[in-house]
Amino acid sequence: MLIYEQSRPGRHAPAQAPQEMADLSAIPESLRREQSAKLPEVSEMQAVRHYTRLSQKNFSIDTHFYPLGSCTMKYNPRAGNSLASLPGLLARHPHAPETHSQGFLACLFDLQEILKQVTGMHAVSLTPAAGAQGEFAGVAMIRAYHDARGDAQRTEILVPDAAHGTNPASAVMCGYAVREIPTGSDGDIDVDALKQVLGPQTAGIMLTNPSTVGVFERRIEEIAQLVHAAGGLLYYDGANLNAILGKVRPGDMGFDVIHMNLHKTFSTPHGGGGPGAGPVGVSQRLEPYLPIPMVDFDGHDYRWLTEDDRPHSIGRLSAFAGNAGVLIRAYIYARMLGRDGMHRVSEFSTLNANYLLKRLMEAGFDAAYPERRASHEFILTLKRQAKELGVNTMDFAKRLLDYGVHAPTTYFPLLVPECLLIEPTETEAKEELDRFIEVMQIIQQEAQTDPEQVKQAPHSLPVKRLDDVRAARELDLTWVK
Amino acid sequence: MLIYEQSRPGRHAPAQAPQEMADLSAIPESLRREQSAKLPEVSEMQAVRHYTRLSQKNFSIDTHFYPLGSCTMKYNPRAGNSLASLPGLLARHPHAPETHSQGFLACLFDLQEILKQVTGMHAVSLTPAAGAQGEFAGVAMIRAYHDARGDAQRTEILVPDAAHGTNPASAVMCGYAVREIPTGSDGDIDVDALKQVLGPQTAGIMLTNPSTVGVFERRIEEIAQLVHAAGGLLYYDGANLNAILGKVRPGDMGFDVIHMNLHKTFSTPHGGGGPGAGPVGVSQRLEPYLPIPMVDFDGHDYRWLTEDDRPHSIGRLSAFAGNAGVLIRAYIYARMLGRDGMHRVSEFSTLNANYLLKRLMEAGFDAAYPERRASHEFILTLKRQAKELGVNTMDFAKRLLDYGVHAPTTYFPLLVPECLLIEPTETEAKEELDRFIEVMQIIQQEAQTDPEQVKQAPHSLPVKRLDDVRAARELDLTWVK
Amino acid sequence: MPFIPHTEEDIREMLAVIGVDSIDELFDEIPPGLRCGTLDKIPEGLSEMEISRLMQARAKEDGQPLCFIGAGAYDHHIPAAVWQLATRGEFYTAYTPYQAEASQGTLQLLYEFQSMMTALTGMDVSNTSLYDGASALAEAVLMAVRANRKSKSKRILVPRTLHPSYRKVVDAIVRNQQIELVEVPYDQVSGRTNLVELDGFSGEDFAALVIPQPNFFGVLEPVDELTDWAHANGMLTIGVVNPLALAILKPPGEWGVDGADICCGEGQPLGAPLASGGPYFGILCSTQKLVRQMPGRIIGRTLDLDGKTGYALTLQAREQHIRRSKATSNICTNQGLVVTAATIHMALLGAQGLERTAAACLASTQKLTEALTSLQGVEPVFEGAVFHEKVLRLPISPKDALKLLAAHNLLGGYDLGGEYPELGNAVLVCATELRTDDDIETYRSKLERVIQTQIQTPCQLKPDW
Amino acid sequence: MPFIPHTEEDIREMLAVIGVDSIDELFDEIPPGLRCGTLDKIPEGLSEMEISRLMQARAKEDGQPLCFIGAGAYDHHIPAAVWQLATRGEFYTAYTPYQAEASQGTLQLLYEFQSMMTALTGMDVSNTSLYDGASALAEAVLMAVRANRKSKSKRILVPRTLHPSYRKVVDAIVRNQQIELVEVPYDQVSGRTNLVELDGFSGEDFAALVIPQPNFFGVLEPVDELTDWAHANGMLTIGVVNPLALAILKPPGEWGVDGADICCGEGQPLGAPLASGGPYFGILCSTQKLVRQMPGRIIGRTLDLDGKTGYALTLQAREQHIRRSKATSNICTNQGLVVTAATIHMALLGAQGLERTAAACLASTQKLTEALTSLQGVEPVFEGAVFHEKVLRLPISPKDALKLLAAHNLLGGYDLGGEYPELGNAVLVCATELRTDDDIETYRSKLERVIQTQIQTPCQLKPDW
Ligand SMILES: Cc1ncc(COP(=O)(O)O)c(C=O)c1O
Ligand SMILES: Cc1ncc(COP(=O)(O)O)c(C=O)c1O
């Protein structure tokens, strides 16, 4: 039932509003609202009960195993929320003067330094609000760099066909044309194909390593050399940083610019769709272009770096300084991990992924790249099942829900047919992985003996399989009485 | 699955403990533990996930209609928890000096004053930790009073047969014998029977009004007069204060002592079994005996009243000052209600109860006291259904759970056979009541057409009907590997 | 090992299954020369107790000054229930609802959010958030450029009364696509966009006109005239609104004859704490006609196999994960959790609650204005009706005044000197419903002393009262 | 109408159904003379915003002094997860689990709690809480009197080293049943119960001996000897323990040859904040033999109709709602929510976490003792090994010292002058794992100045540094 369906004219939660209606006469009639907005009219308890019950209809990290590939659904330490919600932090106005911001700025500065360390980049700006905005900022810096050199012919950004959709979309938002690079059958980029498209029109390439097919791009040094030789820059999509934290640094691999998804690697919660934080790190030559504001420290005081300090900046990406509260959570997590904890993230996420891959292969599932090590994630393809049993990846995914497991990422990357991208993360215990394997085997069995059971799944959730086509065709986007 | 079943030797949540194990050598070996306690060994995420999922297996006010008679399951304003958890309040040590306690003491003092007002009593002590401890304190004061007068012959406390079990149990804890008074067929006390048992051995009588059968004791003035004339005192069990808040005051009815259940009337949460707070209020003659500590205000400063100030006190009931955090929540609620809000509590809880009673009677259910007004609660008897259909109150109760309604109180008070004690409270909307009526009708229908459906209920909960007999016979009280 | 559940035995067993001797071997595809060593400069890990101590100290360090700044972020009462519910694990730690059946909680809530936003704005459709108000405006501009088929120019009219940061953000985002922002001046008396000067642009090719309501000065713009003028000149209109103000102001859907085409704004006043500027959320609504040009997530109501109502992401063909380089935007992660909070906030306040809050803000700002202008030399700069904030001229340098006030733990407003030097000693002050009469009197009396001291001994560095 | 959902229309319809004209008519059974008027002296209702402001001001008023008091309530790290989970609506707003099938969350958790408590105490069974440590001891005493069939005396031996408030509470509760508490003196050198003097009671009829571990002075008692002595003399033994200390101390179940019979204690160190003294929770465990004498809720594991495991209240025949005047106690509502928190706390810390915490407390108290006794004239009073706290003698009046320290926002300990005048200028100090070396140095240096000043100019009212 919608909250609107519990609404009754004249019902309220009056403790939540000023007790009286103040005078509006200072506002000219012509600018005033004639009719009250149609918001729900419910009691305080009705709202609390409604949203409490709604929440119970979600799968989440706090309730379910959630091996959603590329999304790094790991444990979000609860201290992050408590400490980011300390009254002093919640009450701070974004325009508070630096005299009243030293504690807050110290956290941001420290975080900048930590991110520089783990990425091997020269400088970091924290301001992008999510991964995609980080990508935008990164590509915009590549553009600013070429522009500053008067190098106007570079109109193209290269993107592997396996790349996350935000990569090409971000390049386009920066005014670039996008050209796709194919992935080889071993999961690495097809370097020959790359060579053929590199040229004076190449502004740069966007990679993630380990790539979105879940393997480490072994020829990364050669690729970096080729792109640089062609005058292009290398962009690192850091959504997969979880895989390599403390093991290999994008800066050392030759990347010029990187964004990080703190809401993945640094374990700030996803909140059912955000907020995130997508800081960018750059090599020395891109530093002047970093988005503002950034935080500086002179040994005594912390201060904002703004337009005056950074005239070549690509500018501001949000009205204030991005998702400050997410940055604080990431900072807390980073400090709790410490230097050794960083290593453990990649070690155990990789251990979990390789274990899961191996056991699933033993159980008869097909890996997309069976010869390769898994990174923190890996791909299965259910092509065979789809062909032989008529049970496809979507069906497997939905049936997993019935067993209390959130489905892995499905049908991404696009180049692997009927794929499942599986990322267990380092915070899941072996028993949980074993249970996943068991459930996958059960579903495989069901697919053979009772395929309809799988194809009609889920059966035990608040709704059965939803009609997406209808949703798009008969658009119903708002409640109308 | 128990948390113990997720335990693995050597697994930990190390962020939660000091990083190193300090030296224990200061403690003689002979006093040390030899083997670590068998506590679960789980990761932080496992604990979070386990208890989050467990919580989802509860019915609660925040998720379900919960018309549990005598328990006043109404909305617990969420501000109570936030504000009682302000760092300054959470960090205050119970032995903090008065110089560092003025804010806290001011809340307690104000609460004492408010409770005096609504009960019409002369003085209030907040310290009892729950209703039963309030009862103990109240009866102990009655005893202290008689003792102080050298009136040693009073050995008996009178209790109506409908009374809550804590009443006789508390009287016994104070060293009294208990004598039951029958309830008349109209729900009022049998005054003739009362007259017969009153005498020089009568220390007092414990009543609640409206009584636990859900009606107002109309002859209360006469009863008060009779008891007082016999030299006894009148105790008011304030668990039902919700019914009369702002309408009639126990002090005005002639009661000498009262306890209140703040976790009912003043809407602090029940927490799956507590904590509560059971302040006691007294008439002037009992004031010297109030339990300590209490809070005093001299116009400038707040201070504790202790042994020195109150030499005749019955003493202390807890190591510090009772459930301070519950008192703070009750204070917040009381201030949000304000004087008018107090009236509304009784008005709308009574409106809801009478509406529900009337509609259920129209639907063919039998009221225990059909001629009477309901107070904030009322009793149905399913005697007829039990006899004619073999479907008893327990079955109805369990089947209600399937429809997402917590069962009313069953088989209490003991004098009404196959009874349901139903208390909707003032915070439930009419639609919720209408739905309850509808569900009751459906179950009545089911009882006629498919009684097994009802007798086997619940069907849709985490477990089916549990075997209580087995639980008591084959005692399994702790996990053993 | 914080957050790692593996026991020694688990590790041994898992390595054996994989067939390697050590975890390190799992990284053998990384060229050895690239392997990094220890991360020496990163401090050692802290326990929760230790990080708590650190964060408590840092949070305390910044004090909790009495705040009279608005300028895009407003200090409002947020019901305790809002964040207690929003931070429930099931909301807090869920991903974007890709698996609809396992995310009905979030999806239904977002559908309710869309319904509430369209109710508040009077528009047909709403997405489920962009990063913040400023980036939402950038997306609105991109949307307008795509949608206005009549216009070829990629030019947008942007009033100088629009929040300066919004102008910067929009420029930073859209200039890469060769979109040009053209400034419209304002009237120095009223503080509103200058209709006469605007009319000078008549007949030129612009894709859209941006209309802030209220504008950065708190002043209410003549939205009907602006909307009609834009439409008459073949432009789309983009409203930039404060959603709380919309509880009492005419909604963009009703501006002028035809209503605005797009409306965006900062969602923060609907339940997000100040929190140093984020996370907040960007609102984006439009007419039904433009729905396929919208960026971001949109939720649709649909049916399941049994014909039961359910909710799902819809129109995904607009989005990057399907459409890649042809998507309406690159946005992926948005501000879901804050939207969750805002939805609960709106459900709790209802229209009446928001109206009362907005009216109380109006009254507070009026009181503040009266209190401060009672001081010699302090005067209002503009005539126009305002919401949330007011521009005042001080008899001394706002920079010095604000600094001295801050030294007394009071944040006196936003110094307009940097962005609007033409206004002289102007400062933008704000008082929401949370500021009491006492607070306002505190400000008045402190400002009085600051002015006295500064006029007597200007530029004194350390005030000595 | 805060918290009342009724619309005018609802009210009209409902009154019509009932057949009355007004709500007031529903109260017509109350004798008119008794009806009270308006509650004038109660202030008018506050909105949540207003009460928030008030409570924030009051909470702030009390400061957050640096705290070195223990004396029964200890400041420990509580994982953030603990109360975030415990205050989830489903735990926070549920009633006592009378309907087992609809309360499996709480019931299973309580069964886990019982398992954890028996693990920690080494006893056979645990209930699911009493009000606090002191009232738990009172119940333990009543239980012992009922259970010890050999004893006729209704007398209990209680060491003077037991927390003075506990002695008072027990007396207040049990004296109505003519139970007498007889004090056992302590040894002035070791701070332990005096075994020699105790032996003087040999052969007398007592129902039980109470054994605090650690005792109120923080000193560890010779629990084996005490237990064996009691058993040899036909008494039951009641341990009064600090559950955190049990992570490193011998559990009551293993005291002496046969173990204690009953053990109780204050649960606060397991996840309850100081919070002015409550809500905390009382622990009560016993041998299997005594389970039917236990007061309070007990949860049993059982099966459902399908043979599936489930949990339910059990042995209810002990309780007031079934047994009424013959119940083992009057307790009904207990401290469920705090028990919920404690269960989560113990799951998060595990045995290792509790051991480390306990050891860290030991180390902190040791450091504090060293730091303070480095001051001229400050010296330890007792020789015995301690946990959590230590008795120190000051060269000045503790009352003055504590007052002056408090004026500097430091709470220096618990003044023993009132309860133990025989100890001279004695103060009980405590440093948990939360007190850092810096904190301890702060205390040392402040105390140094206080002593200096007091010795030079005793009883000065306002210190002037
Ligand atoms: C590989 C990859 N790149 C980029 C992104 C985009 O990040 P965001 O969703 O924070 O915008 C994601 C996550 O969705 C991702 O998985
Ligand atoms: C009528 C009545 N009296 C007394 C009590 C005892 O109160 P408590 O459970 O707080 O001890 C209750 C509640 O359980 C009750 O309903």
List, in order of start, the domains of chain A with CATH numbers.
3-56 (no CATH), 79-337 (3.40.640.10), 347-471 (3.90.1150.10)
Q: Is the peptide bond before A408 cis (omega within 30 degrees of 0)?
A: no
Residues 407-446 of A with CB under 8 A from B: 427-429, 431
Asked whether residue C363 falls in the same domain as residue C285, the answer is no
Closest residue in chain A to residue C64, using alpha carbons only: A88
CA–CA separation, C98 vs C107, rounded Å? 10
Q: Kindly tell me if the per-residue pLDDT of D354 is higher than 50.
A: yes
Q: Are strands C299-303 and C309-313 parallel, antiparallel or unpaired?
A: antiparallel
> Is the CB of residue A208 below 6 angstroms from any atom belonging to ligand 1?
yes
Band (D461; pLDDT cuts 50, 70, 90): low
Confirm whether C432 is domain-assigned: yes
Asked whether residue C251 falls in the same domain as residue C384, the answer is no
Using an 8 Å CB-CB cutoff, list chain C residues near D434. 49
Confirm whether D6 is domain-assigned: no
Mean pLDDT of B352-367: 98
Closest residue in chain B to residue C77, using alpha carbons only: B79
Asked whether residue C335 falls in the same domain as residue C420, the answer is no
| pLDDT at residue number B170 | 97
Confirm whether D142 is domain-assigned: yes
| pLDDT at residue number C458 | 57
Confirm whether D49 is domain-assigned: no
Which of D2, D9, D89 lies closest to A52 in CB terms? D89
Asked whether residue D326 falls in the same domain as residue D359, the answer is no
Run of H or E including B294: strand B294-297
Residues 6+ apart with CB under 8 A from B5: none
CA–CA separation, A303 vs A295, rounded Å? 6
Contact B259, B139 (CB under 8 A): no
Q: Are strands C389-393 and C426-430 parallel, antiparallel or unpaired?
A: antiparallel
Band (A332; pLDDT cuts 50, 70, 90): very high
Asked whether residue C152 falls in the same domain as residue C216, the answer is yes
With an 8 Å Cβ cutoff, are A44 and B15 in contact? no
Whether chain B has a CB inside 8 Å of the CB on A102: the answer is no
The pLDDT tens digits of the residues spanning B68-82 come to 999 999 999 999 999
Confirm whether D39 is domain-assigned: no
User: Nearest bound ligand to CA B70?
Assistant: 2
- What 3-state DSSP class applies to D244? coil
Q: Out of B237-241, D316-320, D361-365, give the one with best mean pLDDT.
A: D361-365
CA–CA separation, C317 vs D444, rounded Å? 68
* CATH number of the domain where residue C449 is located: 3.90.1150.10
Q: Is the peptide bond before B293 cis (omega within 30 degrees of 0)?
A: yes
Could you say which of C326, C345, C364 is where a domain stops? C345
* Helix, strand and coil in chain B, % to nearest 5: 40, 15, 45
Name the stretches of chain C with pLDDT < 50.
Answer: 463, 465
Asked whether residue C210 falls in the same domain as residue C341, the answer is yes
Could you say which of D296, D312, D345 is where a domain stops? D345
Using an 8 Å CB-CB cutoff, list chain C residues near A224. none
The pLDDT tens digits of the residues spanning A263-316 come to 999 999 999 999 999 999 999 999 999 999 999 999 999 999 999 999 999 999
List the single best residue of D294, D325, D328 to mutate versus B (max B Cβ within 10 A).
D325
Confirm whether D410 is domain-assigned: yes
- What 3-state DSSP class applies to C112? helix
| pLDDT at residue number B481 | 76
| pLDDT at residue number C462 | 54
Whether chain A has a CB inside 8 Å of the CB on B49: the answer is yes
Q: Kindly tell me if the per-residue pLDDT of D454 is higher than 90.
A: no
Using an 8 Å CB-CB cutoff, list chain C residues near B17. 47
Asked whether residue D375 falls in the same domain as residue D254, the answer is no
Place of tokens 């009266």: C370
Give the predicted TM-score (pTM) of the model.
Answer: 0.98
Which of D18, D120, D387 lies closest to B355 in CB terms? D18
User: Nearest bound ligand to CA D334?
Assistant: 2
Q: Are strands A233-238 and A202-207 parallel, antiparallel or unpaired?
A: parallel
Asked whether residue C252 falls in the same domain as residue C170, the answer is yes
Residue D259's region, left for phi above 0, alpha for psi from -120 to 50, else beta, is: left
Contact C334, C281 (CB under 8 A): yes
Could you say which of D294, D321, D345 is where a domain stops? D345
Task: Report the amino acid identity of residue A268.
Answer: T
| pLDDT at residue number B31 | 98
| pLDDT at residue number D322 | 83
CA–CA separation, D366 vs A300, rounded Å? 36
> Is the CB of residue A346 below 6 angstroms from any atom belonging to ligand 1?
no
> Is the CB of residue B163 below 6 angstroms from any atom belonging to ligand 2?
no
Residue A82: closest CA among C268, C77, D88, C52: C52
Q: Which two tokens stand for residue B155?
A: 């050995």
Task: Report the amino acid identity of residue B245.
Answer: L
The pLDDT tens digits of the residues spanning C28-86 come to 999 999 998 789 999 999 999 999 999 999 999 999 999 999 999 999 999 999 999 99
Confirm whether C265 is domain-assigned: yes
Question: How many cross-chain Cβ pairs, A to D, lie less than 8 Å apart?
Answer: 53
- What 3-state DSSP class applies to D235? coil
Number of domains in chain C: 2
Q: Whose CA is nearest to atom 7 of ligand 2?
A: B131
Mean pLDDT of D364-371: 98
> Is the CB of residue B261 below 6 angstroms from any atom belonging to ligand 2?
yes
What burial class does residue C191 get, using C-beta atoms within 10 Å of its C-beta: 0-12 exposed, 13-18 middle, 19+ buried? buried
With an 8 Å Cβ cutoff, are B45 and C3 in contact? yes
Q: Which two tokens stand for residue A419?
A: 């794929």
- What 3-state DSSP class applies to A358? helix
CA–CA separation, C49 vs B198, rounded Å? 62
The pLDDT tens digits of the residues spanning B111-127 come to 999 999 999 999 999 99
Q: Kindly tell me if the per-residue pLDDT of B454 is higher than 80.
A: yes
CA angle B37/B39/B45 to nearest 5° reads 150
The pLDDT tens digits of the residues spanning D394-441 come to 999 999 999 999 999 999 999 999 999 999 999 999 999 999 999 999
Please give, rounded to a whole number of angstroms, the shortest distance from the CA of B6 to a CA of chain C. Answer: 11
Range list of H helices, C73-103: 80-86, 89-92
* CATH number of the domain where residue D155 is located: 3.40.640.10
**Which domain, by its residues, includes D333?**
80-345
Asked whether residue D366 falls in the same domain as residue D239, the answer is no
Q: Is the peptide bond before C164 cis (omega within 30 degrees of 0)?
A: no
Asked whether residue C265 falls in the same domain as residue C156, the answer is yes
The pLDDT tens digits of the residues spanning D208-259 come to 999 999 999 999 999 999 999 999 999 999 999 999 999 999 999 999 999 9
CA–CA separation, C80 vs A372, rounded Å? 51
Q: Which two tokens stand for residue C350?
A: 């209802």
| pLDDT at residue number C465 | 46
Using an 8 Å CB-CB cutoff, list chain A residues near D9. 8-10
Question: How many cross-chain Cβ pairs, A to C, lie less than 8 Å apart?
Answer: 700
| pLDDT at residue number D465 | 46
Contact D400, D454 (CB under 8 A): yes
Which of C47, C48, C84 lies closest to D80 in CB terms? C48
Asked whether residue C389 falls in the same domain as residue C304, the answer is no
> Is the CB of residue C330 below 6 angstroms from any atom belonging to ligand 1?
no
Asked whether residue C184 falls in the same domain as residue C295, the answer is yes
R_g of chain B, CA atoms, integer Å: 25
Mutate to test the pocket of ligand 2, among D129, D316, D333 (most ligand atoms within 8 A of CB): D333
Using an 8 Å CB-CB cutoff, list chain B residues near A8. 429, 431
Confirm whether D90 is domain-assigned: yes
User: Nearest bound ligand to CA B213?
Assistant: 2
The pLDDT tens digits of the residues spanning B221-252 come to 999 999 999 999 999 999 889 999 999 999 99
